Amino acid sequence: MPSLDSILASYKDRVRVRRAGSPSTEARAVVYWMQRAQRAEDNAALDLAIEIANSLRLPVVVFFGIVPFPGANLRHYQFMTEGLADTAARLARRNVAFVVRRHPEADLAKFCEEAGAAVLVGDENPLREPERWRQVLGRKLRIPYYTVDADVVVPSRVLLKAQYAARIIRPRLSAQMAEYLVPCTNPVAEVSDAAGYRSLDPAADLLADLSPLDRTVGPVTSFVSGTTAALVRLKYFVEHGLTQYPDKQGDPSCDGSSRLSPYLHFGHISPVTVALAVRNSSAPEEAKQKYLDELITWRELAVNFVTFNPVYDAIECAEPWAHRTLADHASDPRPILYTRGRLEKAATHDDLWNAAQRQMLREGWMHNYMRMYWAKKILEWSPSPQQAYHNALYLNDKYLLDGRDPNGYAGVAWALAGKFDRPWFDRPIFGTIRYMSGAAAKKKFDANAYVRRMNGET
Q: What is the pLDDT along the chain (458 residues), one digit of tens a residue?
A: 789 999 999 998 999 999 999 999 899 999 999 999 999 999 999 999 999 999 999 999 999 999 988 889 999 999 999 999 999 999 999 999 999 999 999 999 999 999 999 999 999 999 999 999 999 999 999 999 999 999 999 999 999 899 999 999 999 999 999 999 999 999 999 999 878 899 999 999 999 888 889 999 999 999 999 999 999 999 999 999 999 998 888 888 777 899 999 999 999 999 999 999 999 999 999 999 999 999 999 999 999 999 999 999 999 999 999 999 999 999 999 999 999 999 999 999 999 999 999 999 999 999 999 999 999 999 999 999 999 999 999 999 999 999 999 999 999 999 999 999 999 999 999 999 999 999 999 999 999 999 999 998 86
Q: Given the DSSP bridges, would you call strands 29-33 and 145-148 parallel, antiparallel or unpaired? A: unpaired
Nearest Cα to Cα of residue 411 among 448, 356, 330, 451: 356
Model pLDDT, residue 251: 85
Model pLDDT, residue 256: 80
Model pLDDT, residue 68: 86
Domains and CATH numbers, the chain: 4-151 (3.40.50.620), 227-308 (1.25.40.80), 315-453 (1.10.579.10)
Residues 6+ apart with CB under 8 A from 286: 246
Model pLDDT, residue 132: 95
Residues 6+ apart with CB under 8 A from 249: 256, 257, 290, 291, 294, 368
Model pLDDT, residue 195: 86
Q: Given the DSSP bridges, would you call strands 145-148 and 60-66 parallel, antiparallel or unpaired? A: unpaired
Burial class (CB in 10 A: 0-12, 13-18, 19+), 420: buried
Distance of CA 211 to the CA centre of its chain: 24
Distance of CA 2 to the CA centre of its chain: 33
Is 124:158 a contact under the CB 8 Å cutoff?
Answer: no
Model pLDDT, residue 458: 65
The radius of gyration of the chain's CA atoms, rounded to the nearest angstrom, is: 23
Model pLDDT, residue 211: 81
CB-facing half-sphere around the CA of 371: CA atoms within 13 A: 23
Model pLDDT, residue 71: 87
Is 95:187 a contact under the CB 8 Å cutoff?
Answer: no
